[in-house]
Homo-oligomer: A and B are copies of this chain.
Amino acid sequence: MSAFEVKSDPQLWEKLGMDVARFTGMPAMLTQAYTNIFLAQQNRPDRMAYFDGMVENIHTGRIHELMEAKEAGKPVIGTFCVYIPEEVVVAAGGVCVGLCGGAQGSIADAEKVLPRNICPMVKSAFGFKVGKICPYFQAVDFVYGETTCDAKKKTWELLDEYVPTHVMEIPQMKRDKDKALWLDEVKEFKVAVDKITGTETGFDELSQAIVTINAKRRALQRLNNLRHHTPSPISGKDMLLIEQIAFYDEPNRFVENVNALCDELEERIKQGVAVAPATTPRIMVSGTPMALPNWKLHNIIETSGGIVVNEESCIGTRYYKDLIDESSTTLEQQLERLTERYMKIDCSCFTPNTERIDQVLKEYEESGAEGIIDYCLQFCHTYNIEAVKLRKACEERGIPFMAIESDYSPDDVGQLKTRVEAFIEQIKG
């Protein structure tokens, strides 16, 4: 395990226009954090080695692949939300990368421009660009934002001064007229992506891309189902890491490696190999996304005697619970069915959004969880207010429920740990 090391490539970073002097310390910091949080775990599946490798190459190997795609005239698009359809980018032979920020290190950069009291994920992402300390941000042709929350919607206007930023309008309701507007937005996105290659992606390419991304979502579904086994054959932290890597890895390779891990987990389950005893309190996390390297809550839970068995989150089931119907016969139909699939995502930005409450309860049952910790990124109004309804639904069913709101700072870790420990004790009864 001592061989693990997040790799450096100052020459590549220089080429990308990064602040190399400042970024140079990053790999060692990440190596240390990853070693403490992930490699220190007992009895990890062997197949996690691939994902460890993805972290080792996060600032080097994968960036080289992005640059190769770019040099071949393929689009490299940065996004911040599961509502931007990556199938369209993959159809054009391009790469879609999630740029959500999960690090405290770039917050101060952002706060030189943005207000302090907005979402840490938005600030972290913006800060990465402003500080020139994210190779992905530097590599993309453009970014495609969306209007899912106030903070993001308005930040894209400012981000556009640093990198070309297009915005997809995501409606706030899900009626027929909203679908019509949405479908049109998807078509505009396709036009923007196709502009880079100079050729219009057709039925066959989109068909193949839908199969590819469906396979990615299916693999994650399979993994999450296996992970629900009691006792869990994989930790919540490792699952979260894989869900995070899903946003920047090459899809086919990722599918192959997730499925290989699934094979191993099936074997583990047969042999009764687990990462924690069956009696370990099983926690489901719901709420806002945890962007790489935000492992704060999972690490707190899994070092406080619990195990995380589900992420009802954008970086979690919201990303992979729904598939696109593959039986379309025309491009128009493909885009319509794609839109229908994306409209099933139950983000709290919608009103009403009752299906999300049902989905949380369904995942709670399926994951064999014994309590829900609802995670809200600080100042995320929509999830924070929706938590009122979620709490009520859980209380009515006797489901242990705790809501936490947190940012990326280490300041509240002690306090959170105390609360999480008390919650786990409550579950143990």
The interface residues of chain B lying within 8 Å CB-to-CB of A385 are 114-115, 118, 150-151, 154-155, 157-158
A352 to B145, CA, bound (A): 13
Given known contacts A379-B381, A381-B151, A382-B150, A156 and B118 CB-to-CB distance under 8 angstroms: no
Q: Are A351 and B157 in contact (CB under 8 A)?
A: yes
Whether, in the assembled complex, A428 has its beta carbon less than 8 Å from a beta carbon of chain B, the answer is: no
| Residues 132-174 of A contacting B (Cβ, < 8 Å) | 147, 149-151, 153-158, 167, 169, 171-173
**Complex partner residue of A150 from B149, B171, B353, CB under 8 angstroms:** B149
Q: Are A177 and B184 in contact (CB under 8 A)?
A: yes
The interface residues of chain B lying within 8 Å CB-to-CB of A351 are 147, 153-154, 156-157, 167
Tell me the minimal C-beta distance from A172 to chain B in angstroms: 4
A167 to B113, CA, bound (A): 33
A113 to B389, CA, bound (A): 10
Whether, in the assembled complex, A348 has its beta carbon less than 8 Å from a beta carbon of chain B, the answer is: yes
Copy count, this protein chain? 2
Q: State how many residues of chain A have any CB contact under 8 Å with chain B.
A: 41
The interface residues of chain B lying within 8 Å CB-to-CB of A378 are 117
Q: Are B169 and A173 in contact (CB under 8 A)?
A: yes
Q: Are B150 and A389 in contact (CB under 8 A)?
A: no
Tell me the minimal C-beta distance from A151 to chain B in angstroms: 5
Tell me the minimal C-beta distance from A331 to chain B in angstroms: 20
A-B contact pairs, 20 of them (CB 8 A): A113-B388, A114-B385, A115-B385, A115-B405, A117-B117, A118-B384, A147-B173, A149-B381, A150-B150, A150-B349, A150-B382, A153-B172, A154-B385, A155-B385, A157-B352, A157-B385, A158-B389, A169-B171, A178-B181, A381-B381
Residues of A within 8 A of B (CB): 113-115, 117-118, 147, 149-151, 153-158, 167, 169, 171-173, 177-178, 180-181, 184, 348-349, 351-353, 378-379, 381-382, 384-389, 405
